[in-house]
Amino acid sequence: SAAEKGGYASFMLKEIAEQPRAVADTLLGRVDAEGVLTLDEVRIPDAVLREADKVVIIACGTAFHAGLIAKYAIEHWTRLPCEVELASEFRYRDPILDPRTLVVAISQSGETMDTLMALRHAREQGARVLAICNTNGSTIPRESDAVLYTHAGPEVAVASTKAFLTQLVACYLVALYLAQRRDAKWGDEIGDVVRDLARVPDAIERVLADMEPVRDLARSLKEKETVLFLGRHVGYPVALEGALKLKELAYMHAEGFAAGELKHGPIALVEDDLPVVVVVPSPRGRSVLHGKIVSNIQEIRARGARTIVIAEEGDEEVAPYADHLIRIPVVPTLLQPLVATVPLQVFACELATARGNEVDQPRNLAKSVTVE
């Protein structure tokens, strides 16, 4: 009913708007004033966390994209190798698992059969499983060794939005917690990251306050057949998620690519007026990547692409090559997906609506897929 949607036209719009709160709630009570993480729910003994020699993330759909982003944070902060695998592929390739493998299963519903079967397989091989889940008492956390709940609140729209952002937050917390327990060398920095995370809800609020141009742009593209998404580093999974949202909601052909792969194939797809969304890394710190992606934008634009550029506030270098510029607040590189994903959600939702689609219940999809 309209009341349940809190005045929004769809649950999806409501859930997009709830993201600052969902992120704040997922952080709440898990970090103390000194920046020490207190994840009491993670009942995996410290000795196991210290002796782990590999992290394996399993998930499906949007949760898989959260896992892809988590890999960057886990490897950077803990120096533990991290693999990310689609749950539906995992057990069929005889993966290498033992008691020193920490498996992280990410699932909003906690009922996805592919993820459940993958986690059962991992436990049979002796691995410890930590679930990241949004649904209290659901099957995946019940069958795991431990669970870190995301506090997004109920997510009704089929396409995941606020659950995704809170999955990212939970992944960052797990990465920091592992770093802390394993006495990673950069221990002092944990406090800085924690403080940066605490500022993210405000940053998301600022993104949401300025979405009218994104909605206008989305409506103007409703006759298009294809939209491409490019990103690098953590922006690559953000590009994949932007493309998935557009497929799910707008029923358009959409693909996400690693920008560095353009020259190895996808650039052949670029033709006149093709919309290409590019997630631009911060020009600070990782300026090498920034320069490379600016060149990519110039290359596709020279071939006629209509460039839709998501770039940090103050990034002036990229501005001349953007046909449409979407600004996001400055946050540390690894946290950028928390702000960069939001305009892509709004973009897909608006484009779907302009095409006459029902955004909360896209055709052929289910909120939770309980068959393999």
Catalytic residue set? 367
User: Which residue has 């949004």 as its token pair?
Assistant: 134
Q: How far is CA 266 from CA 228, 270, 324, 348, in A?
A: 9, 7, 21, 22
Quote the least distance from Cβ 361 to ligand G6P, whole Å: 11
Place of tokens 């449409």: 324
285 and 312 Cβ atoms separated by less than 8 Å = no
Count Cα atoms within 13 angstroms, Cβ side, for 350: 18
Q: Which residues pair with 55 in a beta bridge?
A: 82, 102
CB of 240 to ligand G6P, least distance (A): 12
> Which of 275, 280, 281 is closest to 307 using CA atoms?
275
Q: Which is nearer to ligand G6P, 169 or 179 (CB)?
A: 169
Q: Which residues, other chains included, contact 124 with Cβ-Cβ below 8 Å and sequence gap of 6+?
A: none
Token representation of residue 113: 């059969």
- Minimum Å gap between C-beta 76 and ligand G6P is 24
Separation of alpha carbons 68 and 83, rounded Å: 9
**Least distance to ligand G6P from the beta carbon of 325, Å?**
29
Reading the block at residue 359, the tokens are: 């955004």
CA distance 250 to 246: 5
Cβ proximity to ligand G6P: between 107 and 282 the closer is: 107
Q: Which is nearer to ligand G6P, 109 or 144 (CB)?
A: 109
Report which DSSP code applies to 31: B
Taking the least distance from each CB to ligand G6P, the nearer of 159 and 207 is: 159
**What residues make contact with ligand G6P under the rule CB under 6 A?**
60-63, 107-109, 112, 115, 158-160, 365-369
The nearest distance, CB 158 to ligand G6P, in angstroms, is 5
Closer CB to ligand G6P, residue 49 or residue 352?
352
Instruction: Answer whether 31's CB lies under 8 Å from 208's CB.
Output: no
State in angstroms the smallest separation of the CB of 109 from ligand G6P.
3
Q: Which residue has the tokens 């999809």?
A: 365
We find the least distance from the C-beta atom of residue 153 to ligand G6P, in angstroms, to be: 14
Measured CA to CA, the distance from residue 271 to residue 258 in angstroms comes to 19
Specify the residue, 137 or 314, whose C-beta has the smaller distance to ligand G6P. 137
Query: Which of these, 196, 211, 236, lies nearest to 23 by C-alpha position?
Result: 196
Distance CA 283, CA 281 (A): 6
Q: Where are the alpha helices (DSSP H) in the chain?
A: 11-17, 19-27, 46-51, 61-78, 87-90, 113-124, 139-142, 162-181, 189-208, 212-220, 235-250, 287-302, 337-354
Q: 268 vs 365, which CB is nearer to ligand G6P?
A: 365
Which two three-digit tokens encode residue 249? 């909601």
